Amino acid sequence: MSTERKRQFLLGIFVMSLILANVLGAKITDFDIPGWLAMPFNVIFAPIIWIFNQILAVTGNDLLSYKFFNMIHVSVGILTVPLMFLITDIVEEVWGRETTKDFVFIGVLSMMAMIFITFVSVHLPPAERFMEMNEAYKSIFSTSMRMAAASILAFYLAQMHDIWAFNFWKIKTKGKYLWLRNNLSTIVSQLLDSSIFMFVAFYNPETFPATLVIKLILPYYIFKVLFALLDTPFAYLGVWWARGHREPIKAEKD
Question: How many CA atoms, within 13 angstroms, populate the side-chain half-sphere of residue 241?
Answer: 15
pLDDT of residue 246: 65
**How much helix, strand and coil, in percent to the nearest 5, is found in the chain?**
75, 5, 20
pLDDT of residue 138: 79
Q: Which of 57, 51, 78 is nearest to 211 (CA)?
A: 57
pLDDT of residue 28: 83
Whole-model pTM?
0.88
State how far the alpha carbon of 201 is from the alpha carbons of 54, 173, 193, 209, in Å: 25, 37, 12, 12
pLDDT of residue 193: 93
Domain ranges of the chain: 3-243
Per residue of the chain (254 residues), give pLDDT as tens.
788 899 999 999 999 999 988 888 778 888 888 888 899 999 999 999 999 999 999 888 889 999 999 988 888 888 888 899 999 999 999 999 999 999 999 999 999 998 898 888 888 888 888 888 888 787 777 776 788 888 999 999 999 999 999 999 999 998 889 999 999 999 999 999 999 999 998 898 888 888 889 988 998 899 999 998 999 999 999 999 998 766 666 666 66
pLDDT of residue 129: 83
pLDDT of residue 102: 96
Question: How many CA atoms, within 13 angstroms, populate the side-chain half-sphere of residue 149?
Answer: 7
CA distance 240 to 219: 33
CB within 8 Å of 190: residues ≥ 6 apart:
81, 82, 85, 158, 221, 224, 225, 228
